[in-house]
Each structure stands twice: as structure tokens, then as C-alpha cells.
């Protein structure tokens, strides 16, 4: 199809691109900078369609909808006020928004009165989201001086079929687009059309299925003979896998339309399943990142001649995807063997029941037929099959119609698979190695895809295994893509965990970016998980609960489990670049290993896993490396100070650290400082506890074991190969108080006051002060109290300051010194956050 001289591009912006006023401004800049004639398709602002659907569900059970409606109205209103300063335009639009919400409210009342959620009313309600989104975007464009005009979707997009899943009528839409959009375009005006919405033959509003704004865009592209349809998304383009499931997913620069439609059909959320049918030869479909408008993204080519040659291919598999919530229906029985038409009758029955089949597999013995269908349709489908095969069931020719729920279908797609031997073997080999049980298999006759059905809980692991078996992470030189979020799971929700949650909440909001989100929190009792991220308010609630000594298993939506079960359950969800943060003080090695095997990176503030037996620490590092995961642990020594980082940088640059000496205990530093100023030992220790500087049992600090662990961790970085027991440790806990329960210990603290007062006085008389010092080299590690010259740098440490001096080949005469605050939840959490951000920024 040819288009008139200037080239036309349809630009579509999804919910993520329209998340808030700042995002809408970015979109405005993209359109302002784009050449040629344009049509814009806008969807609902992020999350609004879901909110409207929930509203419908609330209305049908007569729950109050006003609060949600008000919140939604407020959200749109406040975006409006920040995108346009023209008070006239604002007033007009505010009135429009008001009308739409009145309408939405009326629809809710009707739903409540009916007591039934009809598809017609649902469509009427949820269509408001995309219509509001488009109105706001049109206003933003106008405010930016771009000639733009909002056009109701029902005036352009015509569709037939079922409410909630309308199919576009290409011919009618083409003629409506010529009447309504073309004149605007020709006058240099940018029409802004809501996606997802169309008009049914009887004039009612109909929606095109979730994600339908992609379809609106390709449909309008075809209707107007556009050269390009650009879908602006929150991903760099179409990737080799869902980046939330497979962190190593890579950008696919060019994809044939048949491959893309296979991926879309099998659940790749990035494209509406039917969006590609509305494309035609001559139009390019491009998926591009709105965050980086100069990037090329993925081009989906339609032309036949661009179809890659079929035959042996170096990369037979392009990408994979999965459909969740699948059920397998099996019709089995001896009476089916050799009887023609069983399969056809089965599919006929399912079609009449309105159930779409994602996979069919029949053993060559013809003893059984399996069909993968969405779980939501399972009951209806089974009933339809029982009815169709009633006679066969009675005669015993069919044994039963079996239903197996809780499955997922994974589709592995690539044109190059046809004619490349060994693809299936590699696929099943990868799954077997991962221990994933394959429930059913189907290969399309076109050999364009192989689908496997697996248990839903194994779907994520299966996708990662397949992705790496076909080396999809190496496409394009393996350049990393950056999905929006890194998902953090907190192991431990004590002081540091809570402070970290607090810092992440404020970090995300302060920068206006949502780079990090905490999706799960795990404690000894169980866990809390929210795949979309725990909101700052929810985290604050959890903090309050923990302060009131309620375990996580006892809070709303809390689940009772062990930490390992929690990690397994959390990992079964599609997480984006998951990071497990260990802020416990426990022996968490098995949990960490399990997290690694589930594809999580690790950040540790917990010293124990690295200060246990050397072979365990080494094994952990090896496991991380072999699985391509990273392990950072800056906060295990010196809280937020860059100690580990410095050692690594020195080593990387070819230097060699010979000796580390320092005061790595903020707690003991604080205590000895106070003693030096004449404070009684019992008073000073209580004060340290009150400030949160000590471990829960302060004897863990006083015993020197905490410092010994730090010394061991540092030592192991510079070649010390001993165990914790080899570190010489001087304990500051008076003999008599070592074995007491904590309460009794605290009651009798004052017994040590006199002895400490004497030690401090003796030191002072000699012109020295007491410090707790660690010394490590390749050969030895010892920690204990020393009297240092009152004029030395160690003596001048104040408060909880830490001090480290590195003697290296280069810094031999004049050691490199790092000093600064080294205890307390705030600085420790900041150190952890630093590691987390480092991981988030580089994968």
C-alpha cells in the first residue's frame, strides 16, 4: 500500500510511558522531536486499567467504590495540573475528566444494581482509562506547542466480536480513519487516539483485550498506510525472554513478523497477541525504549523477502516466552485408536465453549490427545468435552477426560529451527539437567516453535535453563539490557533491614525513579511478598509490626515458612534482576546458596557466611561465579566505608596488600572512647546498646568475635588461609559474666566497673589510650586490646569511627588510611544500599 508523500508514523505509548506527569513530559519531547506525519495512540496511565477492573469487581459485590474513584480522579487531576499551565485548557479538561468519572460512577451503580458483571458494562467502565490517558497526552502536547487533537476511539476503531476481546474490522476502520484522521493529519495536526477501545456494530464501546493499545496502533497503521508503527515501551525492545524472569534477556534487533506473532501468541506481554495481524507488507513495526529515544529497538519486518532462510542456522532459536495459568485436558482411551475425527470433534467442542487452545499433542499411538488451555476456561472446556463424547464415555471407549491444572506452557521460537537438527534434544537436555519435569510437548508443523508444558512452579527455572542452553544471553555481543527495576528481597528485618527499607523507600521517591523495589521481606517466622513491590506505606506497617514484636508470619498476607521455603516461593514469581540482601546475623549459608541457584545476586551485611569454614566461604563464591551471579559484601567490614572495594581496586590494579591494621569495631571504639573520658563501663555499654551500636547481645562485641570475623574476612581477601579458630582473640567480657543469661549479665555489669577504671587510669598514666585493634597479614590474624600513644592517629578516633590502614607494595612507607563512622544501622544500611545500587546499575 502506498502512502501520500510525507511518511506517516503511528506512535503508541503504553501505561508505563504515561506513568506520571514527568513521564508524559518525556513522551511530549519524543513526539516533538519525531519527523513526518504522526498519529499518537495512548493507553491508560500505569495501573489504571487494573484499578478500573478492580472497581468493577467491588461494584458487583456492592462494596464502596467512591474512595477508589476519588483516588483515581485525583491522580488524573494532579497530572493535569502539572502538564498544562493554561487555565482555560485546564478548566475545560477538568470538566471532561469530571464527566468521565461521573459516567464511571454511574456504570458502577448499574453494575451494583444488576448484581452481575456483564462484559458490556465492564468494557464501558475500563474504556475510561485509555480515554483519560489520551486526553491528558493531547493536553500535554498542546501545552508544548504541538498541534494535537484528541479523537474518540469509537469514532475511528470498529470492531466485532466478544466484549472484552473485540476483533478489529479492518475495512470499516480504514474508511473511518480516512474520514476522521486523514483530514487532521493533512492539516499538520497530530490526532491522539485512545488505544484498546473501539465501537461494536451496535454502537456500544468494546475493548480489544488486555494490552489492546498495541493492536489499535497496528490497526491504525494499516488503515492509514503508515510506514512505521512505533510502540514505545519500558524495555529496550523485544527481548530474547521476559526480562522479569530471565535477567540475562537480550535485545533482538530484527525479528520476522512470524516469529514475533508466535511470541505474542504464546504470552510475551510486550505485544498484544493479535497486534500483528493488523500489519501489512510495507509497514515496519518497531519496539523502542521511551527512556532512550535514540536507541533503535527491535524492528519487526513483514516483507516476505526479508524472511531469513530456513535451514541450518547458527541461532535456530530466537526467543522464548511462557503462558502462565495453563491446564492440560487429556482425552484418553483405547476406543480412540484409529477412529477418525476425534481431534476435530474435541476442538469443535472447545471452540463452541469459547476456549482457545494453546497447545495440542497427540501420541502417535493415538491413545490420547492432550490440549493446553487457560485454567479459567478449564471447567467449561471439560464440560463441553464430556458432552461431546458422552456416548464414548458411556461405552468405555474413552476412559476419562482428565484435568491437570497449575501448569505453564513455554514456547521456544525461531524460524531457523526448521531444518536445524538437534534443537529438541538441546531443549530437553537443558530441562532434564535443571530437573524440570516436562508434562507435554508439541511442535508446530511449521517447526517455527516447540512448546513444552511444565509445572507452573518450575516455569521460571525452565525458562532460564532454555535461555542459557541456546546461548540467548550472548546475542548482540551479550550487551546487557536494563529492565526498569531491580527487585530486592530482604533476608532479615531487624534494625538494619528496617533502616535499609526506609532508605530504599526514600531513595526511590527522592530521585523520582523507581530503580529499586523491595518485593519480599523474610524473617525467622516466614515472609511477606508483593510482586509489584511493597509500598513505602506497607514497609512502614511491617516496621511497626516488627517493633511491636509481631513476626512476619503474623502480619496481613504474611506466610509461615522457613527462609529457604520463602526464597523458593518468591523465586517462582517473575522477578526483575532479583537481589537477596542478607541483613541477619545468622548461619544463612544454605539460604544464600538456594538464592543463587534461583538466579539471585547477593548482598551481605551478615559476616557469618564469609567467616565460617574457609571451604564454605570459597564454595559460596564459586557457586556465585559459576552461575553468573554476583556477591557483594562491603557492609561486612567498616559499615558504609569503602574497605572491601579499596582492597579489590588495589589488587585489580596490580598492587598487593601486605598488611591491614585497624580498629574495625565502631562499638568497641565508642565504648573505649567513653571509658577514656571517665565514664563507668556499665554506663558506657548501656549507652552503646541504646544507640543501636551493639549486637543484640553486647557480649558478641565485647568478646572480640565480631572483630575477629571482620579480620578473617579481610584476611581472606589478602591471602590468609586460616579459620576463625586460628584468629587470636582477646575477650573483654569478664570471666565471671561469660556464661550468664543476657538479663543477668546486664544486671551484674557494674561488677566490672572498677577493674576497667583501673585499666584506663594505668594507660593514661603511661601517656597512652586503649584501643581494640585487628592486625592481619597473609600469615597471621589477631585482635585485642592495645595501649596506643596518645598522639597517634588511632588515639584520636572519636565516637564510632573505624580506622583501617593498608600497607601495600605501593603504599609501603606511608600506608593508605581510611577512617570514618563504622557502626550503627544508618551507615551500615547505607553501605548495603550502595552494593545493591551497584548491582542494579550493572546488570
Q: Would you name the residues annotated as active-site residues?
A: 710
Tell me the per-residue interface mask from 297 to 326 with ligand ADP, x by CB under 6 A, - otherwise: ----------------------x-x-----
3-state secondary structure of 622: helix
Nearest approach in angstroms of CB 808 to ligand ADP is 45
| Of 212 and 715, CB closest to ligand ADP | 212
**From candidates 9, 28, 37, 43, binder to ligand ASP by CB under 6 A:** 43
Neighbours of 216 (CB within 10 A): 31
Q: Which stretch binds ligand ADP (CB under 6 A): 233-241, 371-379, 663-671, 825-833?
A: 233-241
Q: Is there a contact between 15 and 47 (Cβ–Cβ < 8 Å)?
A: yes
268 binds ligand ADP, rule: CB under 6 A: yes
Q: Which stretch binds Mg ion (CB under 5 A): 209-217, 248-256, 536-544, 692-700?
A: 209-217
CA-to-CA distance for 5 and 7, rounded, in angstroms? 6
238 binds ligand ADP, rule: CB under 6 A: yes
| Of 243 and 664, CB closest to ligand ADP | 243
| Of 44 and 350, CB closest to ligand ASP | 44
Look at residue 44 and give the partner it binds from ligand ASP, ligand ADP, Mg ion, none, a contact being a CB closer than 5 to 8 Å depending on partner kind. Answer: ligand ASP
Look at residue 190 and give the partner it binds from ligand ADP, Mg ion, ligand ASP, none, a contact being a CB closer than 5 to 8 Å depending on partner kind. Answer: none
- 506-513, long-range: CB within 8 Å, 24+ apart, which pairs? 506/536, 507/833, 509/536, 512/22
242 binds ligand ADP, rule: CB under 6 A: yes
**From candidates 209, 211, 247, 289, binder to ligand ADP by CB under 6 A:** 211
All three cell numbers of 637: 567490614
234 binds ligand ASP, rule: CB under 6 A: no
Please identify the residue of the shown chain whose CB is closest to the bound Mg ion. 211
40 binds ligand ASP, rule: CB under 6 A: no
| Of 24 and 475, CB closest to Mg ion | 24
Residue count of the chain = 843
| Of 359 and 574, CB closest to ligand ADP | 574
Please identify the residue of the shown chain whose CB is closest to the bound ligand ADP. 14
Q: Positive or negative, the Cα torsion across 231, 236, 242, 244?
A: negative
User: Rounded to the nearest 10 degrees, how much is the dihedral formed by the CA atoms of 471, 564, 607, 502?
Assistant: 90
CA-to-CA distance for 609 and 746, rounded, in angstroms? 29
**From candidates 8, 11, 15, 589, binder to ligand ADP by CB under 6 A:** 15
Q: Are strands 801-808 and 816-821 parallel, antiparallel or unpaired?
A: antiparallel
Residues 41-100 binding ligand ADP (CB under 6 A) are 43
| Of 195 and 704, CB closest to ligand ASP | 195
Question: Which residue is it, cell 486499567?
Answer: 49
Q: Positive or negative, the Cα torsion across 584, 590, 593, 597?
A: negative
All three cell numbers of 56: 468493577
Determine the angle formed by the axes of helices 87-114 and 66-83, rounding to 10 degrees.
160
CB-neighbour burial class of residue 400 (10 A; exposed 0-12, middle 13-18, buried 19+):
exposed
211 binds Mg ion, rule: CB under 5 A: yes
Q: Which stretch binds ligand ADP (CB under 6 A): 238-246, 455-463, 628-636, 664-672?
A: 238-246
- Beta-ladder partners of 300: 255, 285
239 binds ligand ADP, rule: CB under 6 A: yes
**From candidates 9, 28, 37, 49, binder to ligand ASP by CB under 6 A:** 49
235 binds ligand ADP, rule: CB under 6 A: yes
44 binds ligand ASP, rule: CB under 6 A: yes
Q: Total residues contacting ligand ADP (rule CB under 6 A)?
A: 21
Q: Which stretch binds Mg ion (CB under 5 A): 6-14, 93-101, 579-587, 676-684?
A: 6-14
All three cell numbers of 202: 451496535
Nearest approach in angstroms of CB 722 to Mg ion is 56
| Sheet arrangement for strand 816-821 | 728-729, 781-789, 768-777, 657-663, 801-808, 816-821
Question: Which residue is it, cell 511497626?
Answer: 544
Tell me the per-residue interface mask from 693 to 722 with ligand ADP, x by CB under 6 A, - otherwise: ------------------------------
Neighbours of 602 (CB within 10 A): 26
CA-to-CA distance for 85 and 90, rounded, in angstroms? 7
Nearest approach in angstroms of CB 197 to ligand ASP is 9
CA-to-CA distance for 300 and 306, rounded, in angstroms? 10
| Of 43 and 327, CB closest to ligand ASP | 43
Contacting residues for 268 by C-beta, under 8 A, at least 6 apart: 238, 242, 319, 321
Residues 163-222 binding ligand ASP (CB under 6 A) are 195-196, 210-214
Nearest approach in angstroms of CB 322 to ligand ADP is 9
CA-to-CA distance for 270 and 214, rounded, in angstroms? 9
- Beta-ladder partners of 239: 251
669 binds Mg ion, rule: CB under 5 A: no
3-state secondary structure of 339: coil
Q: Is there a contact between 433 and 462 (Cβ–Cβ < 8 Å)?
A: no
Q: Is there a contact between 451 and 262 (Cβ–Cβ < 8 Å)?
A: no
194 binds Mg ion, rule: CB under 5 A: no
822 binds ligand ASP, rule: CB under 6 A: no
Nearest approach in angstroms of CB 219 to ligand ASP is 13
List of residues contacting Mg ion (CB under 5 A): 14, 211
List of residues contacting ligand ADP (CB under 6 A): 14-17, 43, 211, 231, 233-235, 238-239, 241-244, 268-270, 319, 321
List of residues contacting ligand ASP (CB under 6 A): 14-15, 43-44, 49, 129-130, 195-196, 210-214
Amino acid at each position: 500500500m502506498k502512502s501520500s508523500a510525507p511518511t506517516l508514523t503511528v506512535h503508541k505509548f503504553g501505561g508505563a510511558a504515561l506513568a506520571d506527569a514527568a513521564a508524559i513530559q518525556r513522551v511530549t519531547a519524543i513526539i516533538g522531536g519525531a519527523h513526518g506525519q504522526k498519529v499518537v495512540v495512548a493507553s491508560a496511565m500505569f495501573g489504571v486499567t487494573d484499578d478500573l477492573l478492580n472497581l468493577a469487581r467491588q461494584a458487583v459485590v456492592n462494596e464502596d467504590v467512591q474512595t477508589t474513584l476519588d483516588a483515581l480522579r485525583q491522580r488524573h487531576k494532579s497530572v493535569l495540573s502539572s502538564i498544562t499551565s493554561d487555565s482555560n485548557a485546564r478548566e475545560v479538561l477538568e470538566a471532561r475528566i469530571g464527566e468521565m468519572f461521573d459516567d464511571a460512577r454511574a456504570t458502577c451503580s448499574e453494575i451494583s444494581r444488576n448484581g452481575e458483571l456483564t462484559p458490556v458494562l465492564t468494557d464501558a467502565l475500563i474504556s475510561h482509562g485509555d480515554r483519560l490517558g489520551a486526553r491528558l497526552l493531547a493536553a500535554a502536547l498542546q501545552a508544548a506547542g504541538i498541534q494535537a487533537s484528541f479523537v474518540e476511539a469509537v469514532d475511528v476503531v470498529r470492531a466485532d466480536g466478544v466484549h472484552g476481546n473485540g476483533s478489529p474490522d479492518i475495512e470499516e476502520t480504514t474508511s473511518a480513519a480516512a474520514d476522521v484522521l486523514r483530514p487532521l493529519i493533512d492539516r499538520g495536526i497530530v490526532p491522539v487516539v485512545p488505544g484498546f477501545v473501539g465501537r461494536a456494530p451496535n454502537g456500544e464501546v468494546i475493548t480489544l483485550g488486555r494490552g489492546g493499545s498495541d493492536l489499535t496502533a497496528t490497526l491504525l497503521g494499516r488503515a492509514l498506510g503508515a510506514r512505521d508503527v512505533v510502540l514505545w515501551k519500558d524495555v529496550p525492545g523485544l527481548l530474547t525472554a521476559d526480562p522479569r524472569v530471565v535477567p540475562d534477556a537480550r535485545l533482538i534487533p530484527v525479528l520476522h513478523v512470524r516469529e514475533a506473532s508466535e511470541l505474542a501468541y504464546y504470552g510475551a506481554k510486550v505485544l498484544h497477541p493479535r497486534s500483528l495481524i493488523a500489519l501489512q507488507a510495507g509497514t515496519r513495526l518497531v519496539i523502542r525504549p521511551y527512556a532512550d529515544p535514540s536507541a533503535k529497538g527491535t524492528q519487526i519486518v513483514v516483507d516476505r523477502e526479508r524472511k531469513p532462510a530456513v535451514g541450518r542456522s547458527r541461532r535456530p532459536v530466537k526467543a522464548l516466552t511462557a503462558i502462565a495459568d495453563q491446564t492440560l485436558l487429556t482425552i484418553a482411551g483405547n476406543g480412540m485408536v484409529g477412529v477418525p475425527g476425534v481431534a476435530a470433534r474435541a476442538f469443535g467442542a472447545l471452540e463452541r465453549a469459547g476456549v482457545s487452545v494453546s497447545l495440542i499433542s497427540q501420541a502417535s499411538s493415538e491413545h490420547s490427545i492432550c490440549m493446553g488451555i487457560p485454567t479459567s476456561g478449564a471447567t467449561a472446556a471439560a464440560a463441553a468435552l464430556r458432552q461431546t463424547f458422552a456416548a464414548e464415555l458411556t461405552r468405555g471407549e474413552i476412559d476419562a477426560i482428565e484435568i491437570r491444572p497449575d501448569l505453564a506452557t513455554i514456547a521456544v521460537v525461531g524460524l531457523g529451527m526448521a531444518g536445524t537438527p538437534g534443537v529438541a534434544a538441546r531443549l530437553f537436555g537443558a530441562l532434564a539437567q535443571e530437573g524440570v519435569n516436562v508434562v507435554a510437548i508439541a511442535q508446530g508443523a511449521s517447526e517455527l516453535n516447540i512448546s513444552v508444558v511444565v509445572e507452573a512452579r518450575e516455569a521460571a527455572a525452565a525458562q532460564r535453563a532454555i535461555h542459557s542452553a541456546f546461548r540467548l544471553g550472548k546475542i548482540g555481543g551479550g550487551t546487557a539490557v536494563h529492565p526498569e527495576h531491580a527487585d530486592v528481597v530482604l533476608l532479615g528485618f531487624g534494625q538494619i533491614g528496617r533502616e535499609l527499607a526506609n532508605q530504599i523507600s526514600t531513595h526511590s521517591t527522592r530521585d523520582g525513579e523507581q530503580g529499586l523495589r523491595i518485593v519480599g521481606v523474610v524473617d525467622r517466622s516466614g515472609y511477606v511478598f508483593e510482586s509489584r513491590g511493597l509500598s513505602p506505606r506497607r514497609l512502614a506497617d511491617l516496621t511497626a509490626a516488627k517493633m511491636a514484636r509481631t513476626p512476619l508470619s503474623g502480619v496481613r498476607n504474611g506466610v509461615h515458612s522457613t527462609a529457604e521455603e520463602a526464597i523458593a516461593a518468591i523465586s517462582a514469581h517473575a522477578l526483575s534482576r532479583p537481589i537477596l540482601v542478607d541483613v541477619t546475623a545468622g548461619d544463612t549459608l544454605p539460604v544464600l546458596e538456594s538464592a543463587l541457584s534461583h538466579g539471585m545476586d547477593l548482598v551481605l551485611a551478615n559476616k557469618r557466611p564469609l567467616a565460617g569454614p574457609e571451604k564454605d566461604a570459597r564454595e559460596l563464591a564459586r557457586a556465585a561465579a559459576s552461575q553468573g551471579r554476583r556477591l557483594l559484601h562491603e557492609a561486612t567490614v567498616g559499615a558504609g566505608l569503602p574497605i572491601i572495594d579499596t582492597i579489590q581496586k588495589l589488587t585489580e590494579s596490580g598492587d598487593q596488600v601486605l598488611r591491614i591494621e585497624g580498629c574495625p569495631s565502631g562499638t568497641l571504639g565508642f565504648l573505649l572512647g567513653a571509658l577514656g573520658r571517665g565514664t563507668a563501663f556499665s554506663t558506657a555499654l548501656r549507652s552503646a546498646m541504646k544507640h543501636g551500636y551493639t549486637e543484640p547481645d553486647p557480649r558478641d562485641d565485647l568478646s572480640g568475635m565480631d572483630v575477629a570475623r571482620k579480620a578473617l574476612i579481610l584476611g581472606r581477601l589478602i591471602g590468609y588461609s586460616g579459620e576463625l579458630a586460628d584468629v587470636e582473640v582477646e575477650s573483654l567480657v569478664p570471666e565471671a559474666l561469660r556464661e550468664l543469661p543476657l538479663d543477668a549479665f546486664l544486671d551484674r555489669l557494674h561488677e566490672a566497673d572498677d577493674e576497667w577504671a583501673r585499666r584506663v587510669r594505668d594507660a593514661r598514666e603511661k601517656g597512652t589510650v586503649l584501643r581494640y585493634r585487628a592486625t592481619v597479614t597473609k600469615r597471621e590474624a589477631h585482635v585485642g586490646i592495645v595501649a596506643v600513644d596518645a598522639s597517634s592517629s588511632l588515639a584520636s578516633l572519636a565516637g564510632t569511627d573505624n580506622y583501617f590502614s593498608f600497607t601495600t607494595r605501593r603504599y609501603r612507607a606511608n600506608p593508605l588510611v581510611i577512617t570514618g563512622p563504622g557502626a550503627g544501622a544508618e551507615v551500615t544500611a547505607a553501605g548495603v544500599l550502595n552494593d545493591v545500587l551497584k548491582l542494579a546499575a550493572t546488570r
